Amino acid sequence: MKLGHLSEAQEVVLSKIAALVIDGSSTAGMDDAVQRYVTRFVALQVENIPAYLRLPYLLAITGFQWLPLLRWGRPFTHLPEKAQRDYLKLWSDGPVGVTRDFVRLIRGCALLAYFDHPQTRLALEPGRGVEDAGRDLPRVAVR
């Protein structure tokens, strides 16, 4: 891994966070191609933030993954979905600005990539019924 680039483990964490942000019920609702696209977009954005912010951000991803050990006895990606949601909400809505900003970058990039993906745009195309689009797309979690 080059300095400033995400490790595979960090990409997995970003992928799971993005899936939780986009899909209100489970990651099964999002097409694999869309999930990969969203994850890669978020990863590229993190890798391209200014150097003085990148290293702290990469450390935050690692901290986000391992801090649940203190409460649940396992890392973030090994938690049940409910615990993952609760933990993400703690970071997203908590009193510490740095944790809110950490989640905000991922959420913003994930939603941008998701709604920019051709499959999502097609499902939201005018003329398609709401029931058609609803069948193709997972729900978006809104805070």
pLDDT computed for residue 29 by the predictor = 54
Asked, for residue 1, whether it belongs to a domain, the answer is no
pLDDT computed for residue 28 by the predictor = 44
Measured CA to CA in angstroms, residue 4 lies from 22, 37, 67 at distances of 26, 20, 21
Number of domains within the chain: 1
Asked, for residue 106, whether it belongs to a domain, the answer is yes
Q: Report the phi/psi class of residue 5: left, alpha or beta, with left for phi > 0 and alpha for psi in -120 to 50.
A: beta
Crossing angle, helix 32-47 and helix 97-116, to 10 degrees?
130
Asked, for residue 93, whether it belongs to a domain, the answer is yes
Asked, for residue 142, whether it belongs to a domain, the answer is no
Q: Domain limits at 70?
A: 8-136
Structural tokens at position 104:
């905000």
pLDDT computed for residue 13 by the predictor = 97
Helix (H, G, I), strand (E, B) or coil at 141: coil
Structural tokens at position 60:
């935050």
Asked, for residue 83, whether it belongs to a domain, the answer is yes
Asked, for residue 2, whether it belongs to a domain, the answer is no
List the chain residues with pLDDT less than 50. 1, 3, 25-28, 129-131, 133, 142-143
Asked, for residue 143, whether it belongs to a domain, the answer is no
